[in-house]
Chain A
Amino acid sequence: MAEDLDNIDAFEAKETSHKLPVGWLILFWGLIIWGVYYFVTYSPAISGWTQTKAYEESVKK
């Protein structure tokens, strides 16, 4: 019995193959921008934030 093999063209839609949904693009770039913000805010070398300093402050309160 013949083995049914694949035709690669059957896997990929032609008309929409280059489409990127706008909502997804916004998510993609938005997360990169957020990542830069978070990295700057919580990097000891940039903002001076450290988890032990944050702890000392929380105890003082």
Chain B
Amino acid sequence: MSDYQYDNQTVKGFIVSSIFWGVVGIVIGLLISIQMWKPETNFAPYFTFGRLRAVHTNGLAFGLGVGAIFGLSYYIIMRLAKRPLLFPKLARFQLYLFNVGILLAAVSLLMGQTQSLEYAELEWPIDLAIVILWVMFAINVFGTIIKRKEEQMYISLWYIIATTIAVAVLYIVNNLSIPAGLTKSYHLFAGVNSANVEWWYGHNAVGFVFTTPILAMFYYFLPKSTGIPIYSHRLSIIAFWSLVFAYLWTGAHHLVYTPLPDWIQTLGIVFTIFLIAPSWGSVVNGYYTVGTDWSKMNTNYLTKFFIMGITFYGLQTVQGPTQGLRIVSQLIHYTDWVPGHVHMGTMGWVTMTTAASIYYVIPKIYHTEIYSEKVANIHFWLVLIGQLIFSITMWITGIQQGALWKATNADGSLKYTFIETLTKNYPYWQLRTVGGLIFTVGMLFFIYNIYMTIRKGSLAEAKA
């Protein structure tokens, strides 16, 4: 087996693992979406909404997201560095540790072991495992890039390097805690400070897990699958530096109108709005790239995944910053608008782009073609429709909630009790479950397609 083949199998291992954890996360997502309108589907103590929500978010962010990032980053690095990974055995060990870690994480969350910090729920022993995983990743990323056989580093490598550094800083600082036993700890930071550190982390977990590594995939796999080079190198440079600079200032937009000092909130909002520019730098670059030959949308089945993905990224990065404005935050913060927003990013941008990248990589690893473009097209339309139903219903009900909470009678008293504003969400939450179901069916078509491609490739390999 050549060095590349060994590393390719590691890449495939990460991809298959990430898909597995993705299915777990999505199925739990469906269950908790039902719990929102049918409380009898809570099964205490392990399967209540309160515990399962963290399994859903962590399963998808760390299981699907980080798993795919590990695998696809290695794939991209090897090809751009023109050499196999510097430490292939370490990467393979990282794959095993990753799966053990995610399993332990899921079980610990079901047991109710949580730091209650969003996207940093995991308790300190699992945090340590994650830090070790990340160090292993960093060693191979930097080692392989330093020992590369191609002088220039392509854009995707910039994004991977920035991801590696930023996630390490963010994760370590926010998870500093006072241990109080093996399964319990208290945040090192208290009150307002705790909130500020957590959302500095929380928003940048979105920035450096759901944005920069996905952009690395976009900048790599779009030219690879279409054969069209990226339109403007200069635009890529400005977009990259302004993105990684501005992101770290923005966490406070999650804390608008809380007791956090006003000046930190204001700075957070200013940089949040500015982020539209670098984000749209990549969107524009993508459009201009494919703009030199729009017929690729018809002739190459992956192009529409990437263009739809970057379009949702574009919508996400206008909607998100707008939400940060005080006047908008007043109305939609704490409502279902926000999950609607998050799911456009995760279901529209992240999953769409990642799935397309996997469609590209798996046949390459086996030197074959995708099992069925037709199945891929069905997958595309189902996840698109499912995600749109999900997001749009949540935006509507979010605005409704915000408005009902504010509504007053002529004499200045509140018009609705809380329970009245809650029950008006139920029809929308039911529709959301339908949207989620359609999305899930779409993902099953994707998994079937990948499974059949791997089978086809393995059979061909066995013959050769």
Residues of A within 8 A of B (CB): 1, 3-6, 8, 10-14, 16-21, 23-24, 27-28, 31-32, 34-35, 38-39, 42-45, 49-51
Contacts of A20 in B (CB 8 A): 232, 234-235, 238
Interchain CA distance A18-B2 in the complex, whole Å:
40
Is B39's CB within 8 Å of the partner chain A? no
Q: How far is the CA of A21 from the CA of B185 in the complex (A)?
A: 51
**B454 to chain A: closest CB distance in Å?**
17
Are B266 and A42 in touch, CB under 8 angstroms? yes
Contacts A6-B224, A21-B232, A50-B262 given; 4 further ones with Cβ under 8 A? A11-B229, A13-B231, A35-B274, A51-B326
Smallest distance from the beta carbon of B249 to chain A beta carbons, Å? 10
B288: Cβ under 8 A from any A Cβ: yes
B424: CB under 8 A from chain A?
no
Give complex CA distance A14, B292 in Å. Answer: 13
Query: Given A21-B284, A35-B274, A50-B262, is A1 in contact with B154 using a C-beta cutoff of 8 Å?
Result: no
Segment of B22-30, B49-57, B275-283 in the binding face: B275-283
B270 contacts which chain A residues (CB < 8 A)? 35, 38-39
| B369 close to A (CB within 8 Å) | no
Q: Are A51 and B262 in contact (CB under 8 A)?
A: yes
Closest residue of chain B to A50 (Cβ to Cβ) is: B262
Kindly state whether residue B4 has any CB partner on chain A within 8 Å.
Answer: yes
Question: What are 22 sample pairs from A and B whose C-beta atoms fall under 8 A apart?
Answer: A3-B2, A4-B364, A6-B82, A6-B224, A8-B154, A11-B155, A12-B154, A12-B229, A12-B233, A13-B233, A16-B231, A18-B234, A19-B234, A20-B232, A21-B235, A27-B276, A28-B238, A28-B277, A28-B281, A31-B273, A35-B270, A44-B262
Once the chains bind, are A1 and B367 in contact (CB under 8 Å)?
yes
User: Given the known A-B contacts A8-B80, A32-B274, A38-B266, are A19 and B235 also in contact in the complex, defined by CB atoms under 8 Å?
Assistant: yes
Contact B273 A38 (CB under 8 A): yes
A28 to B282, CA, bound (A): 13
Chain B residues with CB under 8 Å of A50's CB are: 262
Do the beta carbons of A3 and B4 come within 8 Å of each other?
Answer: yes
- Assess the A27–B273 pair: CB atoms within 8 A: no
A-contact 0/1 string along B13-26, CB 8 Å cutoff? 00000000000000
**Do B277 and A27 have beta carbons less than 8 Å apart?**
yes
Contact residues, B1-49 vs A (CB, 8 A): 2, 4
- Complex Cα spacing A14 to B231, Å: 8
* Interface contact B232-A11, CB-CB below 8 Å: no
Is B152 close to A, CB under 8 A? yes
Contact among B80, B228, B263 with A43 in the assembled complex (CB-CB below 8 Å)? B263
Determine if A17 and B233 form an interchain contact, defined as CB atoms under 8 angstroms apart.
yes
Give bound CA distance, A4 to B78, whole Å.
10
**B276 partner residues in chain A, CB cutoff 8 A:** 27, 31
Q: Which residue of B lies closest to A45 (CB)?
A: B263
- The answer to whether B4 and A16 touch across the interface, beta carbons within 8 angstroms, is no
Cβ–Cβ < 8 Å partners of A19 in chain B:
231-232, 234-235
From A17, A27, A39, contact of B280 by CB (8 A): A27
> Whole-angstrom distance between the alpha carbons of A10 and B150 in the complex?
13
Are A5 and B288 neighbours in the complex by a CB distance under 8 Å? no
Q: Given A6-B80, A8-B154, answer yes or no on A17-B232 (Cβ-Cβ < 8 Å).
A: yes
A26 to B223, CA, bound (A): 27
Q: Give bound CA distance, A6 to B242, whole Å.
A: 27
Chain A residues with Cβ below 8 Å from B242 are 28
Q: Chain A residues near B238 (CB, 8 Å)?
A: 20, 28
A13 to B171, CA, bound (A): 37
0 or 1 for each of B292-331: is its CB under 8 Å from A? (1 = yes): 1000000000000000000000000000000000100000
